[in-house]
Structure 1
Amino acid sequence: MPLRLITVPCRSDNYAFLIHDSVSNETALVDAPEAEPIMEELEGRGWHLNDILITHHHGDHVEGVEQLKKRYGSRVIGARADQHRLPPLDLAVDISDVEDVCGEEVHVIDVPGHTVGHIAFWMPGAQLLFTGDSLMAMGCGRLFEGTPAQMWESLTRLRALPGEATVCSGHEYTETNARFALTIEPDNAALKSRAEAVRSARAEGRFTVPSTLSEEIETNPFLRADRPEVKAALGMQDAPDVDVFAEIRARKDRF
């Protein structure tokens, strides 16, 4: 496959993602928490930054955009509906748009919840899914602006994508997320195994992001709110799925 994916740690716990097409030599970035580590990665590899894709407006995802744009003249891509609070956009995209980035189709997916204007980027040809702070490794973003119903709909929309998809999310929160997930499903064998692997990885200073969508479906409590075993564990056997999701989110907020 001509595309390469590079995970770039930024700030204290953020991730940015570089996508490089070895055929065209084009490079794209998803989210820009800060410029310096991204520029170091680009310069070290001799890559030019053609495009910057933004998932949402929060500062820890956009603060590096201006400096990167100034250095590389990159095309900045973000949601038209949220452009009033994003860095200046060269390409404002709408939900369900399909754009060309690094020679691949990029599908724009609506994922409100963490913020109302949050979008995800799906590259089906490369099986890459960039979720920002919507779907996260064994977690999901706090509902700063959206409702439980919006976030549940967003997560189920993402869950319907192929299980082989590589989920590139925005933060290294996985160890804490795993500890919380075990309070919901302590007997989930896949979860227990993944939690142990995450503990080992972090002890060795390794990233736990990206993950695969199939891993998230098996272990992420926020994707499992409609599972009978999860409802039973919460004593909510007859509750609507969205109410179960809201309860899980409320428990995580207090965790």
Structure 2
Amino acid sequence: MAPELVTIPCLSDNYAFLLHDPESGATALIDVPEAAPVLAELERRGWSLSDVWITHHHSDHVQGLPDILVAHDVKVTGAAADKRRLPDLDVAVSDGDSFEFAGHTVHVLDVSGHTVGHIAYHVPDATAVFTADSLMALGCGRLFEGSAAQMWASLSRLMTLPADTLVCSGHEYTAANAKFALTIDPDNKDLISRSERITEARAKGVPTVPSTLALELETNPFLRAADPDIRAALGMTDADDVDVFAEIRARKDVF
């Protein structure tokens, strides 16, 4: 039986995720922007938390952990490469590692770029990848520590996952990302339609996360550095993909 996925809005524009295995009762929490909404959702569903998986060290992804640890006896997993900046870990994992969660295999991917040591968790049985601030809905994370080449390599790895994979990213930035994307890819009919749906969803207070990888490949300009129309619009027809990506990221930084 596939694990159940729950999206939890936190803070002003963050998301945490619960992954629940119905057979064993095990429940994993991916990132902890704040504890209160997570604890409320666990209580509402009658679930006990067994695991916490951390993607990266930024406070808006870990600051709720102390209160979670008071309420639940959990195993905390995070990146070995960033162990010095993370809360105390019970399990330190590295790129290419796999571990088991209630009989479901979890693959660890290094997706450095936003930070160095940022990881994603791919759970094929849930058809989901938890990307936090690497690949985001219609965007990607700002390059606070890594290079454009690192982020492009990370995104390129994520692009090879099955197209129906749910991209569980860490923020509700999608409406702003859509406005920017239309400046880069204005004639993309899929993007135009998606932007309209995003506006409708946000007007109703409905999250736009998760999305699917297929949708990101069709509409997310940060994944479309090889697209001839985008290259032409940027005046970079013969440039390397990394350079095209870097230009898109630079334009977003000042948008």
Q: Which residue of 2 aligns with 1:83?
A: 83
Distance 1:217 1:186 in 2: 16
Q: Which residue of 2 aligns with 1:131?
A: 131
Secondary structure, in 3 states, of the residue corresponding to 1:67?
helix
Partner AA of 1:198 in structure 2: I
Distance 1:14 1:163 in 2: 24
Distance 1:79 1:66 in 2: 18
Asked if the contact 2:53–2:78 (Cα under 8 Å) also holds between the matched residues in 1, the reply is yes
Distance 1:57 1:206 in 2: 27
Asked if the contact 1:69–1:75 (Cα under 8 Å) also holds between the matched residues in 2, the reply is no
Secondary structure, in 3 states, of the residue corresponding to 2:66?
helix
Q: Give the ranges of 4+ consecutive aligned residues of structure 1 lying more than 4 Å apart after TM superposition.
A: none
Structure 2 gaps, min length 5:
none
Q: CA deviation at 1:230?
A: 1.1
Q: CA deviation at 1:103?
A: 2.4
Distance 1:171 1:59 in 2: 13
Distance 1:204 1:125 in 2: 31
Asked if the contact 2:78–2:91 (Cα under 8 Å) also holds between the matched residues in 1, the reply is yes
Structural mapping, 1:46-195, within 5 Å: 46-195=46-195
Partner AA of 2:223 in structure 1: L
Over the aligned positions, Cα root-mean-square deviation in angstroms equals 0.7
Q: CA deviation at 1:69?
A: 1.7
Q: CA deviation at 1:102?
A: 3.2
Show CA shifts across 1:181-231 (max 9, x none).
000010000000000000000011110000000000000000001111211
Q: TM-score, normalised by structure 2?
A: 0.99
The total of aligned residue pairs comes to 255
Show CA shifts across 1:126-178 (max 9, x none).
21100010000000000000000000000010001110000000000000000
Distance 2:112 2:63 in 1: 21
Secondary structure, in 3 states, of the residue corresponding to 1:125?
helix
Partner AA of 1:36 in structure 2: A
Secondary structure, in 3 states, of the residue corresponding to 2:126?
coil
Which stretch shifts more, 208-217 or 220-229?
Answer: 220-229
Distance 1:228 1:2 in 2: 39
Distance 1:125 1:47 in 2: 20
Q: Which residue of 1 aligns with 2:12?
A: 12
Sequence identity percentage: 62
Q: TM-score, normalised by structure 1?
A: 0.99
Distance 1:191 1:155 in 2: 19
Partner AA of 1:229 in structure 2: D
